[in-house]
Amino acid sequence: MAMLVNGRPGDAVSVLDRGFAYGDGVFRTLQLRHGRPWMWRWQYARLCDDAARLRLEAPDEGLLLDELLALGREHALAVGKIVLTRGAGARGYAMSAAGAPTRVVSAAPWAGYPAEYGERGVVARWCELRLSVQPALAGIKHLNRLESVLARSEWSDPAIQEGLLLDQDGWLVEGAMSNIYLLRGSQILTPRLDRCGVNGAVRDWLTENVSNFGLEFIESRLSVGDLIDAEAAFLSNSLMGIWPLARLGERVWMPSPLLQSLRQALLQQA
Amino acid sequence: MAMLVNGRPGDAVSVLDRGFAYGDGVFRTLQLRHGRPWMWRWQYARLCDDAARLRLEAPDEGLLLDELLALGREHALAVGKIVLTRGAGARGYAMSAAGAPTRVVSAAPWAGYPAEYGERGVVARWCELRLSVQPALAGIKHLNRLESVLARSEWSDPAIQEGLLLDQDGWLVEGAMSNIYLLRGSQILTPRLDRCGVNGAVRDWLTENVSNFGLEFIESRLSVGDLIDAEAAFLSNSLMGIWPLARLGERVWMPSPLLQSLRQALLQQA
């Protein structure tokens, strides 16, 4: 894996970095095609939004693009990652104790997921962990990811591609590594991320683009029953793109031509 | 500051360390007196408990004591810190992607807090942030500390020593860097930490020792009203020891000889 720490080749950060000490930072995971980040417009916008929520200054866009290109250009496909933290600081939680921010950019060659996940759909399960409710952090892809770690630790069966999460009150939120959507008539419904969950770049793309398919994008409180009753359901993140849900426990969904059209449109996106 | 990373002098960890990527680890902050950690019995027990909750193996006790001594022996007083993470790993939240754990031990000379904080008490304020409810992580001193960072960012007035936190349902939990206790007759009441909050080593010491003062230790759901109505209130952590609460907004508490006796007993503890 190739890496740049504040622009310099390196694979280490200070023990005093607040990313290490407190998870005080944000990150993005991206698909790099010959070093060019897929969905960049949405990724960068999200990075800026998330950073601002934590009162961090986002790095310059051109700088990030240059670094990703330098690290990923030799690979047809790679997983890129941008981590931004509040930097190394004195002891204590106060933000004023922090120095200059830390920027870590990395790229690792990647074979991609099996094509059938996108074409035929995936199998999901319910996680027992319930996500905590924290409006001050909801939606942000921050570095406090212990809930994701605990959720992902609930299964090891490779035939299960994703675990679905409810919040403490039992509302549907997301997958351990993805956003989730339901198809109901001409509506795409997805959980509102005002109390917990991570807002992905593909989710933002969908808000702007589903109308091209005669669909309406609706953020809502959704229940387990809403998901089970949905005509179709799917997951998204920046590595998988769109994966239809094929099975969740007893519930089996038939392939949806509409979802495949949406998925193909996403894949065509620069 | 002197540091050991997995026993070797160094001040850096891998960018791939899950402590940096996900906050996937635990830590303790300790008071070192010529390199000897104060309250070690309670500190080590808590480290082991917290590590086990996250399915991490705690380092050997003798090893940690040796490292703390090596780093802190030259200082009459120092702040020691032990960080334990799931180590560097492949991409993805799954614990199975992790390699060997990372252990970071550090010590920094310290002047101590002003004596008057312990003797005359401190001033606290209410934080607007409400702590999220997550039983799977409650009580653990883990590396996902963004809530603490946000809470501590709410004030910069140096005349205020601590911010107090309620949970999403309005129950009293803790201070941004401390546990909190109320005195009511012969009872010491403290918030139950089964839904959020961090269980400190001094808190454990109190559970074992308040009976020596004719007091009963009770964990309970406590409200803002319970705190305001308390005859006395105090904070604890391993650096402050015990700080009486002198003022919280309009509420002023008179000095409590009983709290001072308790505080002195704690200070005598090895």
Report pLDDT for B179: 98
Using one digit for the tens of pLDDT, what is the confidence trace for B21-57?
999 999 999 999 999 999 999 999 999 999 999 999 9
Query: What is the token pair recorded at B264?
Result: 């002195």
Q: Do A150 and B168 touch (CB under 8 A)?
A: no
Domain boundaries for CATH 3.30.470.10 within chain B: 2-109
Distance in angstroms (rounded) separating the CA atoms of residues B34 and B109:
10
Report pLDDT for B32: 98
Q: Do A15 and B23 touch (CB under 8 A)?
A: no
Q: Would you state the CATH architecture of domain A115-268?
A: Alpha-Beta Barrel (3.20)
Q: Is B136 on the interface with A (CB under 8 A)?
A: yes
Report pLDDT for B66: 98
Report pLDDT for A90: 81
Evaluate if residue B99 carries a pLDDT over 90. no
Evaluate if residue B65 carries a pLDDT over 90. yes
Report pLDDT for A88: 94
Range A227-233 contact pairs with CB under 8 angstroms and sequence separation of 24 or more: A227/A164, A227/A172, A227/A180, A227/A182, A229/A184, A230/A182, A230/A183, A230/A184, A230/A189, A231/A183, A231/A184, A231/A185, A231/A256, A232/A182, A232/A183, A232/A256, A232/A258, A232/A259, A233/A180, A233/A181, A233/A182, A233/A183
The Cα of B168 is separated from the nearest Cα of chain A by a number of Å equal to: 8
Evaluate if residue A67 carries a pLDDT over 90. yes
The Cα of A236 is separated from the nearest Cα of chain B by a number of Å equal to: 16
Q: Is B95 on the interface with A (CB under 8 A)?
A: yes
Q: Would you state the CATH architecture of domain A2-109?
A: 2-Layer Sandwich (3.30)
Q: Is A270 on the interface with B (CB under 8 A)?
A: no
Report pLDDT for A19: 97
Evaluate if residue B118 carries a pLDDT over 80. yes
Domain boundaries for CATH 3.20.10.10 within chain B: 116-268
Supply the mean pLDDT for chain B.
97
Using one digit for the tens of pLDDT, what is the confidence trace for A80-95?
999 999 999 888 999 8
Task: Report A:198-237 residues touching B (Cβ under 8 A).
Answer: none
Q: Do B23 and A18 touch (CB under 8 A)?
A: no
Contacts with A104 from chain B: Cβ below 8 Å: 15
Supply the mean pLDDT for chain A.
97
Q: What's the distance, Cα to Cα, between the start and end of chain B in Å?
A: 24
Contacts with B108 from chain A: Cβ below 8 Å: 91
Q: Is B111 on the interface with A (CB under 8 A)?
A: no
Q: Does residue A196 contact residue A132 with C-beta atoms inside 8 Å? A: yes
Is domain B116-268 annotated with CATH 3.20.10.10? yes
Residue B203 host element (H or E): helix B201-209
Q: Do A22 and B133 touch (CB under 8 A)?
A: no
Assembly ipTM: 0.96
Report pLDDT for B1: 86
Closest chain B CA to residue A155: B94
Using one digit for the tens of pLDDT, what is the confidence trace for A256-265?
999 999 999 9
Report pLDDT for B91: 81
Residue B257 host element (H or E): helix B257-268
Report the percentage of chain A scoring pLDDT > 70.
100
Confidence tier at A99 by pLDDT (50, 70, 90): confident
Q: Do A1 and B16 touch (CB under 8 A)?
A: yes
Q: Is A14 on the interface with B (CB under 8 A)?
A: yes
Report pLDDT for A97: 76
Using one digit for the tens of pLDDT, what is the confidence trace for A11-46?
999 999 999 999 999 999 999 999 999 999 999 999
Evaluate if residue B59 carries a pLDDT over 80. yes
Using one digit for the tens of pLDDT, what is the confidence trace for B149-159?
999 999 999 99
Q: Is B78 on the interface with A (CB under 8 A)?
A: no
Evaluate if residue B84 carries a pLDDT over 80. yes
Report the percentage of chain B scoring pLDDT > 90.
96
Report pLDDT for B97: 76
Report pLDDT for A176: 98
Collapsing DSSP states into helix, strand and coil, what is residue A242? Answer: strand
Confidence tier at B133 by pLDDT (50, 70, 90): very high
Q: What ranges make up the beta strands (E) of chain B?
A: 2-5, 8-9, 12-14, 25-33, 36-37, 78-85, 102-109, 122-131, 162-167, 172-175, 179-184, 187-191, 216-220, 232-237, 241-248, 251-252
Using one digit for the tens of pLDDT, what is the confidence trace for B232-245?
999 999 999 999 99
Q: Do A153 and B55 touch (CB under 8 A)?
A: yes
* Rounded average pLDDT over B67-95: 95
Report pLDDT for B204: 98
Report pLDDT for A18: 97
Task: Report A:31-60 residues touching B (Cβ under 8 A).
Answer: 54-55
